[in-house]
Structure formats: structure tokens, C-alpha cells
Structure 1
Amino acid sequence: MDDVDVVLPCLDEAAALPGVLAAMPRGYRPLVVDNGSVDGSPGVARAHGAVVVRESQRGYGAAVHAGLMAASAEFVCFLDCDGSLDPGVLPVLVALVRRGQADLAVGRRVPVSAAAWPWHARAGNAVLAGLLRRRGLPVHDIAPIRAARRTDLLRLGIVDRAFGYPLELLCKAAEANWRVHELDVEYRPRAAGTRSKISGSVRGTARAVRDMAGVLW
């Protein structure tokens, strides 16, 4: 397929990028959105066939939105580029949207080990997902991997440019009565030499939960 772009928000992921990009499904165009890396990530991404998009405004949402604006394919996927998620599952998510079974297909992380997902990150995620279910959205994760049509995503008008972006996406999808399909995906430890900006510390998790709670309130 040549109608799928994959947005990969990136901040110092040089160690993980070769493996992630090598696992990209054939025909899926990777857009690595560099958010101020100092480890040579842009050069590594280009060397492994990715298109590099620069976004100077720091923040997960800023990087993701820049990638969405740079995308031109009918379908757009979003994927962390730290090696914790397998790009090979993206065609399964896209197929759900392509066949009309979902407006948004998302991954529910199933950790392969306790080390893959720290307790504080799992706890914060569980609280937020529970609040979403109370709003009628049948999800158990805040969708670190997802797929939808580009035009549909743009119409949602997501404004958060920090860690609250994925939660705002889900909230607005619920308000728009989107059909959201959640699929279990394997969640692995990050690639060696990389560190999570969110789940790598209790402080990072707390900051993310704060941003996301702001979206809910």
C-alpha cells in the first residue's frame, strides 16, 4: 500500500530508530518528527529511509501534529519510535479503518514483562482509561499506537500540544461518535540506550497525567 503515512515523534531515539524503521511494513512511509534531538536522530532516520520533519516547539502533541500536517496519505498511523511497539501490527489497525469497521483503531499495550511498563505508568494509564470508559469510550489504554483517516483526524481539531494530545483525541472521538476499535498489541522494553520522557520516571508520569487531566476537566 502507498496510502499510509506513519508519524513517529522523536526526541533522542537514535539507538532505537534503525530497528523501528527496518520493521516498517512495506509501503508504509515513515515520517520521523524530530523534536529537538541532540543525539543525531535526524541523520539516523534519513540514513534508514525516513522522511524527517522538524518541529521546534517541544511537546509530544506538537510533534504528532507536525507529523499529521506533513502527512499526505489517506491513512495516518502514530507510533512511538523507541522500539517498544512492533510496526508490523500497523496493517492490522489500518485494515479495520479501511474496511469501515472503525473510525479509529488503537493498540492496547500488553507488556511482555514487568520491566516493559513501570508500575507508575500503568497506574496513571489505568486511571485515565477508566475515566474514558465512564464517558462511554470502550478503551483500556491511551493509545500510543493508532490509525485513522487523515481528513477525519484534522476535523477533530485537537489543540493540545503536550502529553494531553492522545487523551484529547480520544475525548473528541467519543464526542464525534466515532467507532473506536481497541486491539491488544505486544509492549516490549524500550531499545537499549533510550529512555522514556514519560514513563521513565515518576515525575515524567505525573507530568503526563497532569496534562491529560487538564484535558478531561
Structure 2
Amino acid sequence: MTVDVVLPCLNEAAALPWVLARIPSGWRPIVVDNGSTDGSAALARELGATVVEEARRGFGAACHAGLLAAEADVVCFCDCDASLDPGLLTGFVRAVSDGEADLVLGRRRPQGPGAWPVHARAANLALSHMLRRRTGLRLRDLGPMRAARRTALLGLDLTDRRSGYPLQMVVRAADAGWRVREVDVPYLPRSGKSKVTGTWRGTWQAVHDMRRVLAQAPRKPAADGVR
């Protein structure tokens, strides 16, 4: 079972050494540079990562560029800011490869003050309730750490290129009847300032993007690669 790890990146040079050092042996890290000006792309290459350049700004744009560049059986996604340890993805991949789940998500459990701002946690809780009404899934987080089979993810035909991308993945997976599992993961104070949930404005934009996704009509995508 081969594994690629997609790491969307915007000015994360300070965090890259920590993140890439924790990629499990034999897995391929794909750092998707989304317009960094701090040398992140060059540093990632020096550290042995595959680097994909994505000029279009947006979390979803970076994640999807990484998915399209991936070639492995299983694709993982993880933030590149040192808030999440990619080494924990081994359990996610095991659950997917053993057929226990089709999509595994990390439920963030804050470790220390400042790891997860109150306004961002409140927004996440509200979106989780809306997701439950829309899909029936009883998830407590819509975090960025996740794993699924590559061919199945491509079959979801994801179209959001902003902050709604991770939610659209879950919604379309639910519509397709995927088995979705949630696993607790420690959430550390990130390196540097968040581009999304670190400010009220960023959180509002993320909620706006995600509410737009929830308003979309249910879709039954092809389920290739899902058992």
C-alpha cells in the first residue's frame, strides 16, 4: 500500500523541517506551494519533498493540486504548520487499507492555550451540527487531517477551491455511502500565524465557504475504489 501525503503550504518555512521529519518512512510528502514568499518551496525540495506549485490561492486549490499530483494508493492530507503530527496518519492509513473505513478524519484535541482559538472552535461546532442535519454524520470536527484511497477521492469530483474543500469532501463521501471514521489527534499551537482561523475575518470566510457547500444539492458520485 503506497501513500502520498499532501501538505498545502503558504509561508511555512519555519514549520517544514518539523513536519517533513515526521512523515513515515516510505511515504512521499507532496508540498503544494500556494505562493509562498519565505522560501518554503526551495526548503521543501532540499528536505526531499516533492513540490507542486499552485498559483491559484485557496486552501482547496492547494489540496486538490496535491491530489492530482498524487500517484499512491492512499492519499493523506495534513496541515503544514506543525499543529498536527503527520506520523499519526499511520493509523488512518491502516484503517483504510484494512477496509475498516473509506475516509478517516482527525478530530483535533487542543494541547495547551492558543492551539485552537475560541471563535474557530465555535464555528467548527456550528458547522458540525449543520453537517449532521445535511448528511446524518455525527462528526465533532471538520479538521484537515484525513486519509482515503486516491481513486475514490478523484471519483468525488471535488470542485471547491477555497475553505469549503474539506467539508465538500465529507459531504460527497456521505452522499456516496462511504464509511467515515473520526479519530482523536492532539492539536498543537501552530507555527506562525494562521491564514484562515487565526482571525475573525478568516473564520468568517471559512464559514461562508462551507455554508455554500452545505447548500449544494445532494450528489451521487462514482464510488470507484471504495469497498
**Residue of structure 1 in register with 2:211 after alignment:** 213
**What residue number does 1:188 align with?**
188
TM-score norm. by structure 1 comes to: 0.97
User: Which residue of structure 1 aligns with residue 127 of structure 2?
Assistant: 128
User: How many residues align structurally?
Assistant: 214
Q: After TM superposition, where is structure 1 displaced by more than 3 Å over at least 4 residues in a row?
A: none
Question: Which whole-Å CA distance do the structure 1 matches of 2:139 and 2:47 have between them?
Answer: 34
Which amino acid in 2 is paired with 1:204? G
TM-score, normalised relative to structure 2:
0.93
2:225 counterpart residue number: none
Q: Helix, strand or coil for the counterpart of 2:114?
A: helix
| Counterparts of 1:43 and 1:65, CA distance in 2 | 21
- Unpaired runs of at least 5, structure 2: 216-227
Query: Partner amino acid for 1:210?
Result: H
Where in structure 1 are there 5+ consecutive unaligned residues?
A: none
Q: Does 1:44 align with 2:43?
A: yes
Contact preservation (8 Å) 1:198, 1:208: yes
Q: Aligned-pair RMSD on alpha carbons? A: 0.8
Take 1:171 and 1:113, find their aligned partners in 2: how far apart are those partners?
31
TM-superposed CA distance for 1:16, in Å, is 0.3
Within a 5 Å distance, the mapping from 1:106-125 to structure 2 comes to 106-125=105-124
Q: Which residue of 1 aligns with 2:154?
A: 154
Q: Deviations over 1:23-70 (max 9, x none)?
A: 111111100000000000001101111010000111011100000000
Distance 1:173 1:114 in 2: 33
- 1:131 Cα shift? 1.2
CA distance in 1, matches of 2:156, 2:190: 31
1:51-66 matches, cutoff 5 A: 51-66=50-65
* Separation in 1, partners of 2:31, 2:54: 10
